[in-house]
Amino acid sequence: MPTAAIVVDVVRLEEQMLLKALGEYMNVNMVNVRSRALEIGIDGFDAAVIRPISMYRAAYTAASFEAAGVFTVNSSQTIMTAGDKLLAYTQLAAARIPIPRSFYAADVDAALEAASRLGYPVVVKAPVGSWGRLVSRADTPEELEQLARMRQELPCSQTRSMIIQEYLDSGSSDIRCIVVAGTLLGCIKRVAQNGEWRSNVALGARTEVYKPDPVLEDITVRAAAAVKGFFVSIDVFEDDERGYLVNEVNGVPEFKGFYRATGINPARRLAEAILEELKH
């Protein structure tokens, strides 16, 4: 019987579902990375499901296990790429997956130049950060300059970096799909509250099932592959002219809302896929 670690910093409903699902197929240890150190290149698990909320904790945990040949879901590379919107966009673009038109801007002047090429309004994002934090919309060069200048006062070099992006009037909704081991499990649609243009559940968005068509299935499966993701969620916008655009990939996906809306248990599917993988 294989042994697996579920690595956490905080235990949410998702981690309890994973513990139950994996426990039906293998010996499982819950490892809290805040109190346990990981020796690089030394560890005795067959697989590790990486669940820390902090992206760096997740990536460093995955990397430490990988150095010892453990099969990690996801790999450190996937966590680092998906967790960084700019790296994710570049991998998606390289794989010819449609994304919103986006620029990398290192500083205030570059941000203004990007916006002058895009036209206003523009969205300004940091490459890292969750739940809509550090995402703004600038309607004029004056507003963009102020937001960009303020951002340069932030202490982390990664959050001073900016993605300047076209503003998509997608009816304030987006679609979230979950892919496990190359198969699309299903999709939900998140609809923002009145007056809020960001469709984050943390900002009050509500959730309903969304039936994917073959185009969406193709895009999401290819998006997961573009970031080498074994178990990822993918956020998609619908654009009237261009169709589906991938906006974000998540390498440590939350799936509580997905499970409630669809009845599909991603933890169970993941457990089966890991078992299958370990057989090879």
Q: Which residues bind a copy of itself (CB under 8 A)?
A: 9, 33-41, 52, 54-57, 59-61, 63-64, 66-69, 76-77, 80, 86-87, 89-91, 93-94, 99, 101-107, 109-111, 113-114, 117, 127, 133-134, 136-137, 139, 142-143, 146-147, 149-151, 153-159, 161, 164
- Please give the structure tokens belonging to residue 262: 């669809």
Tell me the HSE value of 128 on the side-chain side, using a 13 A CA sphere: 15
CB of 268 to a copy of itself, least distance (A): 28
User: Beta strand pairing status for 27-32 and 3-8?
Assistant: parallel
Smallest CA-to-CA distance from 110 within 122, 94, 98 is with 122
CB of 254 to a copy of itself, least distance (A): 18
Based on CB atoms, which residue is closest to a copy of itself, 13 or 156? 156
Based on CB atoms, which residue is closest to a copy of itself, 98 or 257? 98
Tell me the HSE value of 134 on the side-chain side, using a 13 A CA sphere: 21
Based on CB atoms, which residue is closest to a copy of itself, 35 or 194? 35
Amino acid letter for position 150 = M
CB of 183 to a copy of itself, least distance (A): 26
CB of 193 to a copy of itself, least distance (A): 15
Helical (H) or strand (E) element with 28: strand 27-32
Q: Is 235 left (phi over 0), alpha (psi -120 to 50) or beta?
A: beta
